[in-house]
Amino acid sequence: MVIETVPKASRVARGAFLKADGPITVDNWQDPPFNRWGFSHVAEMVTTAVVSRHPPTELTEERSGLPTSDTVAAIITDGFLEETHTEAFLVMRGQEVLHERYLGAARPTDRHLLMSVSKSLCALVVGRLVGQGLIDPGVTVPSYVPDLASGAYGLATVQQVLDMTVSVDYSEDYHNPAAHVHEQDRVAGWRPSHDGDPADTYEFLTTLQPAGEHGRVFQYCSASTDVLAWIVENVTGRRYADVLGSELWSRLGCSEDATVTVDRGGVAFANGGIACTARDLARVGRLVLDGGRVRGEEVVPRAWIEDTKTGGDRAAAEGTVFQRIHPRGSYRNQWWTTGDDRGTFYATGIHGQFLWLDPTSDVTVVKLSSLPVAVTEETSRKHAEAFNALTRALA
Amino acid sequence: MVIETVPKASRVARGAFLKADGPITVDNWQDPPFNRWGFSHVAEMVTTAVVSRHPPTELTEERSGLPTSDTVAAIITDGFLEETHTEAFLVMRGQEVLHERYLGAARPTDRHLLMSVSKSLCALVVGRLVGQGLIDPGVTVPSYVPDLASGAYGLATVQQVLDMTVSVDYSEDYHNPAAHVHEQDRVAGWRPSHDGDPADTYEFLTTLQPAGEHGRVFQYCSASTDVLAWIVENVTGRRYADVLGSELWSRLGCSEDATVTVDRGGVAFANGGIACTARDLARVGRLVLDGGRVRGEEVVPRAWIEDTKTGGDRAAAEGTVFQRIHPRGSYRNQWWTTGDDRGTFYATGIHGQFLWLDPTSDVTVVKLSSLPVAVTEETSRKHAEAFNALTRALA
C-alpha cells in the first residue's frame, strides 16, 4: 500500500466549519462566531456534571435485579470486588450477561474512566482506518503528521507506535512528579498546569526526543497512543472524539455516549481519557471476540483482530513485569496478549481497569475500579489469576 | 407551613459518601480515596468531548427525515432561522412534533446550552420540593442556607428570590467586563479566572450585598437562581445535578442526559449552565403545559404551574424592556409571563434560547441559537412577534 497524500493541515481545529480566525478557547467560546460551536460543546470548555435521564438506583432497584451467576460469584466474590476497590464488574459468555455487580455509589449507567483501556479502543479505530486504506502501518509517522518529523517519532513506523516499540526519552513512572507522564497529565488538564508547560497534547508530543533504535524493545509510553490519535485526526480530517463515535461507538449498539477528556487546545487524551459504562465496554469486548463484526457488519477487519490476538514480539518484552506474570506475553496493536493456551488477551488501565477476553470460553470480563495505587505487580497478578480461574470455570 | 429543621451542613460536597478529608479537586481526584468518586465523574474534573452512540447525521440522514409543517415553515422560514443564528428549532402541538429543524453542524442528539432557560428548570425543581414540604417559599433564605444570613439574601424570602424582586448590588450588564455577571462567569469557569476571585459560586454568593428594600422592584439577577439551587441542595442533602436528574429529568422520558456546568468547587451553575437537546427541552414544555404531569404522574404540583402562569407583580416590572414588548408582562417563579390574551409564558436565555408555551393553542416552541449579541430589544421583539404569529396560525 502506498499513501499518496500527505495532509496539508496537521491539526484538526475545534469548530473547523466556522472558518473563524484563531482557536476556540475559554476566552472566546461565548463570542461570535465561536459561540456557534461553543454553545453545542460546552462540556469541552467548562467542566460538567451529568443530569441523568435514568432514575437513581435506589428508585429503580436496578442493582438488585441484575443477573447473578453462582459460578462467577464463587470465584469473583463480593469480598474480592470490595478489596480491589471495584465500581463495576460484568461477565459475559457469548452474548449473555452472566453476572453484573456495581459497588459503592456506582450504577449501571455511570461512565467510568478507562485509563489505558482507552489505548486499545484507539487501536480498533486505527485498524478500521487501515482496512479503509487510510493508514498504512508500515510507513513512518511524519507521512501523516509532518509536525512530528523532527522528534522521537520522526523515524518510527505506525506499526512500531502501535506495538510500543518506539524508543522515546519518556518516563512513565506514575509515582514521580518529574516524570513525562505527569507533565502530560498537566497538559491534558488532569492536574494543575505549571508555568512553561506545552499548550496542549500535540505541542507536548513535538517536544519528545528519541532515546535509541526503534523496533527492538517494548517501551510502554502513553504518548505513543496520542500520536496514533493525531494520525487518526489527520487522515480523516475529523476530531478524534467524532471519529471514535462514528467509526466505533455508534456501530456497537451502545446504550450510553462515551466521553473523552480534552485539553485547553481541544486535543483528546486518547491514551487514557475515555470514560464509558461497563456494559458498553463489554460491547467492545464482544466486537473483538466476534472478529470485528457486529450483527454481520464488519466494524474492524478480521485480519486486524487476528493480528492483534496473535501478539507481538515476545523478545521485545523480555524482562518486563508483564512477562513475569505472562511468560509468553507480548504487546500488539495496543493490546496485551498473554500467549497462554487459551489465547487470552486483554486491555488494561492503571488503578484496576480491565477488559479481559478469553476466546476459548468466549468470555468477556469487564472490571472498572479505583485501586489506591496505579499499578503493582501484586495487583496485576491477583487480577490475572482471578480472571483465569473464572474463564476456566466458565469453559 | 413551618419549617422546623435548619440544615446543619450548608454545602453538599462532591463524593460526600467518601467521608474523606477535604474537597475533591483537580489536584487529588486521581488519588485515594477521592478516585473512588473521581473516576466515575471525570467530566466534573476535566473538560470532555462527547463520543456519540448515535451515527453522524450525514450517515442517518436524520435531518432530512424530520417532520415538516408548511404552516410553520411559512412563518418561521429557514431564512429567519439562519439570520437568527439558530442551531435547533422544534414546534409541538399537543404531543405531536409538527416541525423540527437543525442548522449548521447541529444534529438532534446534540446538547445545546440553555443559558437562562436553566433558571426556569431550577424553579420547576423548587416547585416540586415545595409540594413535598421541603421548601416554604414564605420563609427567608437563611432558614435553608445559613451561610447567606449576612448578605444580600439575609432578609429575602424564597418567593422574592423566585420572582427576582430581591434588591442586590449586582450588575447584570453582559457587555461590561467589570459587571458582577462577568465575575460570576469567571468563578463558574466560563471565563479565565482573575486573582482574588472567589473560589466557587457559593463563596461568590456570600459576597453579594443588598441594595435596597426587597419585594418591590423586579431585578433580574442571575445569582438569585444560584441561591435557589443552594437551597435545593441543602434541603435534599444532594447535589443540584443529581436532584435535577432524579426529580425532573428522569421523569420526563428524556432521550438524552442533560449536563450542567460545575465550577472548581463542584457547584453547579444553575442560573445558566444546563445543556440539553431541543427534543428534551420540548418535553419540559409539555410537562408545564400539562399542568406538571407526565403520563398521569405528578412531577410538579399543578398549583405551582398555575401560580407561575398567572404571573407576578406587574408593577414591579414597570419600565423594563420586557414590558415594552409585553405591556402586561411579569416575572413569576423564574418564568416570563406575557399577560397576553392567550396566556403565553416562556423561558428564555441570552443569545436566543427560547422555550415558548401557548396554552391556548397547546403549542410548545423550542429555539436554541447562538446570536452574536447576548440580548437586544430588537431581537427579543422579533422573536416574540414570530412566535405569536406562529401560535395564532396553529390555533
Q: DSSP character for B192?
A: -
Phi, psi (degrees; rounded to nearest 5) at B42: -60, -30
Contact A26 B52 (CB under 8 A): no
pLDDT in tens, chain A (395 residues): 444 444 455 788 899 888 887 899 999 999 999 999 999 999 999 999 999 999 887 655 556 689 999 999 999 999 999 999 999 999 999 999 999 999 988 889 999 999 999 999 999 999 999 999 999 999 999 999 999 999 999 999 999 999 999 999 999 999 999 999 999 999 999 999 999 999 999 999 999 999 999 999 999 999 999 999 999 999 999 999 999 999 999 999 999 999 999 999 999 999 999 999 999 999 999 999 999 999 999 999 999 999 999 999 999 999 999 999 999 999 999 999 999 999 999 999 999 999 999 999 999 999 999 999 999 999 999 999 999 999 999 99
Average pLDDT over residues B116-136: 98
Q: DSSP character for B166?
A: -
Query: Which positions of A are annotated as active-site residues?
Result: 116
Contact B41 A49 (CB under 8 A): yes
What lies within 8 Å, CB to CB, of A9 at 6+ separation is A234, A237
Q: Which three cell numbers stand for residue A51?
A: 443530569
* pLDDT at residue number B59: 55
* pLDDT at residue number B10: 79
Closest CA to A68 of A90, A49, A46, A83: A90
Contact B245 A52 (CB under 8 A): yes
Q: Alpha helices, DSSP H only, in chain B?
A: 35-38, 42-45, 57-60, 70-75, 78-83, 117-131, 158-162, 180-187, 201-207, 222-236, 240-247, 278-289, 302-310, 321-325, 377-394
Average pLDDT over residues B321-328: 97
Chain A CB within 8 Å of residue B32 CB? yes
Q: Which of A51, A276, A284 to mutate to test the interface with B (most CBs of B within 10 A)?
A: A51
* pLDDT at residue number B65: 81
Contact B50 A40 (CB under 8 A): no
- Reply yes or no on whether B369 is catalytic: no
The Cα diameter of chain A in Å comes to 61
Which residues from A are below 8 Å from B86, CB to CB?
none
Q: Where are the domains of chain B?
A: 107-138+238-394
* pLDDT at residue number A105: 82
* pLDDT at residue number A18: 87
Q: Which three cell numbers stand for residue B195?
A: 486573582
Chain A CB within 8 Å of residue B297 CB? no
Chain B CB within 8 Å of residue A227 CB? no
Residues B24-61 have pLDDT tens digits of: 999 999 999 999 999 999 999 999 999 999 988 765 55
Which residues from B are below 8 Å from A112, CB to CB?
39-40
* pLDDT at residue number B2: 42
Q: Which three cell numbers stand for residue B157?
A: 424570602
- The dihedral over CA atoms of B343, B347, B350, B354, expressed in degrees to the nearest 10, equals -80
Contact A36 B112 (CB under 8 A): no
User: CB–CB of A113/A353 below 8 Å?
Assistant: yes
Q: How big is the A-B interface in CB pairs under 8 Å?
A: 263
The pLDDT mean for chain B works out to 94
Contact A106 B37 (CB under 8 A): no
Q: Which of B29, B34, B53 to mutate to test the interface with A (most CBs of A within 10 A)?
A: B53
Which residues from B are below 8 Å from A257, CB to CB?
50-54, 257
Q: Are strands B86-93 and B363-369 parallel, antiparallel or unpaired?
A: antiparallel
Which residues from B are below 8 Å from A263, CB to CB?
47
Nearest-neighbour CA in chain B from A354: distance (Å): 14
Angle, CA of A193, A195 and A198, to the nearest 5°: 70
User: CB–CB of B259/A50 below 8 Å?
Assistant: yes
Chain A CB within 8 Å of residue B238 CB? no
Average pLDDT over residues B349-359: 98
CATH code linked to domain B107-138+238-394? 3.40.710.10
Q: Which fold has domain A107-137+237-393?
A: Beta-lactamase (3.40.710)
Give the ipTM of the model, two decimals please: 0.95
